[in-house]
Structure 1
Amino acid sequence: MNALRNKVQLIGHLGSKVEIKTLESGKIMGRVNIATNEVYRNAKGEKVTETTWTNLVIWGKNAEILEKYTDKGSEIAVEGKLSNRSYTDKNGEKKYITEVVVNEILLLGGPKAEKANQEVMESDLPF
């Protein structure tokens, strides 16, 4: 039951190409945002689409796979946990960020996605 305490699942489209960094420790980290849409009808019966943008942090092999097989607009499914952090910007103001730290990815649609998903499944890395 502990696994359900902080679990997020999203399906959406990437807002850009994944940005990859190799840290001093040698770990690979990727950052990208994902757009998820909610469609509903308002009180007048008009169809309304609301888009929510969420920041993703992806580590290791999953980051490499997203960089290799996806582009802006690619549809993916992710599972991870919410993470909150803060930093002080160059003007001395404290900024707060909420992001999803991804531990599983699934690329949706097309032959590139099938190849990438196979690579994910064959990976022995936990994230």
Structure 2
Amino acid sequence: MMNKVILIGRLTRDPELRYTPSGAPVAGFSLAVDRQFTNRQGERETDFINIVVWQKLAETCANHLSKGRLVAVDGRLQIRSYDDNQGIRRTIAEVVANEVKFLDRPKESQQGVPPKGSSIAEGESFGSEISFNEEEIPF
């Protein structure tokens, strides 16, 4: 079996960094991804996909990414359920990222930002699966 997702798109908001009760960093952001085809009015359609990143990758994304940045995300699709504030059971689809690459440079020059097309944590591997308890997810 295979569960692999590769996306290229722009962040619709700044990454939100949080920590689980056990102290594991986790960040979330949304990616706007254009579809290859257009609708009947000749307009491109866009999907807005939730992305979740863990551990050092989460901290790196939170520190160096912002709304509008172009990134490539390699990860897996995850479907999970949770109870909202009113006690209603909700289901959400999100991509858990194994790797995130910057595909552009920030508008303002920032030191420490990896060059275009490089891995955000160059020299470090984020390809391994990270185990976690879904109840620890803070959002």
Indicate the larger mover: 80-89 or 106-115: 106-115
Higher alpha-carbon Rg = 1
Runs of 4+ off more than 4 Å: 124-127
Higher helix share: 1
Structure 1: 5+ residue stretches without partners:
none
Structural mapping, 1:38-117, within 5 Å: 38-41=35-38, 47-110=42-105, 112-114=113-115, 117=118
Structure 2: 5+ residue stretches without partners:
129-139
Higher strand share: 1
Please give the secondary structure, in 2, of the residue aligned with 1:65. Answer: helix
Task: Answer whether contact 1:86 1:95 (CA < 8 A) is retained.
Answer: yes
The answer for the alignment partner of 2:20 in structure 1 is: 23
Indicate the larger mover: 9-18 or 115-124: 115-124
What value does the CA root-mean-square deviation take over the aligned residues?
2.3
Q: Counterpart of 1:123 in structure 2: which amino acid? A: E
The answer for the alignment partner of 1:9 in structure 2 is: 6
* Aligned-residue identity in percent: 32
Indicate the larger mover: 106-115 or 75-84: 106-115
For 2:33 and 2:63, locate their aligned partners in 1 and report how far apart those are by CA, in whole Å. 22
Which digits, 9 at most, give the CA deviation of each residue in 1:104-126, with x for residues without a partner? 11001127341893551222554
Task: Answer whether contact 2:104 2:117 (CA < 8 A) is retained.
Answer: no
TM-score, normalising length from structure 2? Answer: 0.77
